[in-house]
Amino acid sequence: MSPTTIVLLIVLGIIAAAVIIPWLVNRIRLIANPGFYQQKVIMITGASRGIGRELALSFAAHGANLVLAARSVDELHAVAAECREKHPDTDILIIPTDVTEKAQLQNLVDSALKHFGQIDILINNAGIRQGGQFVESTMKELEVNLVAPLNLTQIALPGMFERHAGTIVNIASAAGRLAEPHFVMYGVSKHGMIGFGDGLRRELYGTRVRVITVKLDFINTDMVTEIGPSYRRMGMPMLSTKRVARRVLSGIALGKNYINVGWLSSFAAQIGVIAPWVIDIYFRLFMPKEFAEAAKRQFSE
């Protein structure tokens, strides 16, 4: 065997070990702690559909109790019924909430504390996506996607400090590192979520309250029904909500600071920070003609 082949094999071995060993260790840690979510109280905003619904189902299946918040009451009840099918003993509190109303956020936390006495994990998930030209956009995405999580976290934190325990999970996006045209406000809101998570995590070091930032690729939900085909043409994959839920549950249990779901979140988003010109070129070369029109149709409120 030539010296070059031997060096190549050693390098490949080191890379394989660097990937496989942490993966194995994590698997063993998860298997060793199967009851991690048993009886924990999980508050999820935006639980009426999409990623929030999937998270609720997964937490219920792992024995957690739930506080579900969103504006659509019927959908929340439907999600709660599905959760009970998976785990009949799940205690579920439904609190209809518009996260842009501070008084409703206060009511959400107060109701949860009255019913359960504690919030173990708060998941800031509710979000909207309003495509279109920046000159025509409003501040609504900032209010729902960024200001609401800031407000809710401020309200929930004192209870966590008192118990010296708690976890804040912020659902951000690859768009929080890699800003897209025609979704400028959305990108700003998700950049804000990542900055919020980083700052708060560093501030709370030593308090036993943890802050986790979840960066997601494009996920197959109502949020991308119109723009999805354009992303696919640009080579971006659409991932399932089930995959998100799996990664979020294992990431929290493993005590991660960041949970990245998909290669955009874990790799391309870093390029957006280190070499933004690469992303500029990518959009100039690969953005399909219909992107702007599709973005305009991608509008939730």
Q: Are 182 and 295 in contact (CB under 8 A)?
A: yes
59-67, 81-89, 125-133, 245-253 -> range binding ligand NAP (CB under 6 A): 125-133
> Binding to ligand NAP by residue 49, rule CB under 6 A?
yes
> Binding to ligand NAP by residue 97, rule CB under 6 A?
yes
> Binding to ligand NAP by residue 222, rule CB under 6 A?
yes
> Binding to ligand NAP by residue 125, rule CB under 6 A?
yes
Displacement of CA 154 from its chain's centroid (Å): 19
Look at phi and psi of residue 80 and say left if phi exceeds 0, alpha if psi is from -120 to 50, else beta: alpha
Residue 140's nearest CA partner among 152, 126, 153 is 126
Q: Which is nearer to ligand NAP, 65 or 221 (CB)?
A: 221
In single-letter form, the type of residue at position 242 comes to: K
> Binding to ligand NAP by residue 166, rule CB under 6 A?
no
Which residue among 37, 186, 205, 258 is the active-site one? 186
Residue 108 CB burial class (10 angstroms; 0-12, 13-18, ≥19): buried
> Binding to ligand NAP by residue 227, rule CB under 6 A?
no
> Binding to ligand NAP by residue 107, rule CB under 6 A?
no
Q: How near is the Cβ of 244 to ligand NAP at its closest, in Å?
A: 8
Known catalytic membership, residue 205: no
- Structure-block tokens of residue 145: 């996607």
Contacts (Cβ under 8 Å, ≥6 apart) of 165 = 120, 208, 209
> Binding to ligand NAP by residue 250, rule CB under 6 A?
no
Q: How far is CA 83 from CA 48, 58, 78, 176, 247, in A?
A: 12, 8, 9, 31, 19
Q: How near is the Cβ of 87 to ligand NAP at its closest, in Å?
A: 21
Q: How near is the Cβ of 217 to ligand NAP at its closest, in Å?
A: 7
Q: Which is nearer to ligand NAP, 75 or 198 (CB)?
A: 75
In single-letter form, the type of residue at position 30 comes to: L
> Binding to ligand NAP by residue 153, rule CB under 6 A?
no
- Structure-block tokens of residue 83: 């959760």
Q: Which is nearer to ligand NAP, 101 or 198 (CB)?
A: 101
Give the one residue of 80, 108, 126, 269 binding ligand NAP; rule: CB under 6 A: 126
Residue 250 CB burial class (10 angstroms; 0-12, 13-18, ≥19): middle
CA–CA dist 247, 1 (Å, integer): 42
8-16, 44-52, 197-205, 281-289 -> range binding ligand NAP (CB under 6 A): 44-52
Q: What share of the chain is helix, strand, coil (3-state, %, to 5)?
A: 55, 15, 30
> Binding to ligand NAP by residue 216, rule CB under 6 A?
yes
> Binding to ligand NAP by residue 168, rule CB under 6 A?
no
Q: How near is the Cβ of 282 to ligand NAP at its closest, in Å?
A: 18
Residues that bind ligand NAP (CB under 6 A): 45-46, 48-52, 70-72, 75, 97-100, 125-128, 144-145, 171, 173, 216, 218-219, 221-224, 300
- Catalytic annotation, residues: 186
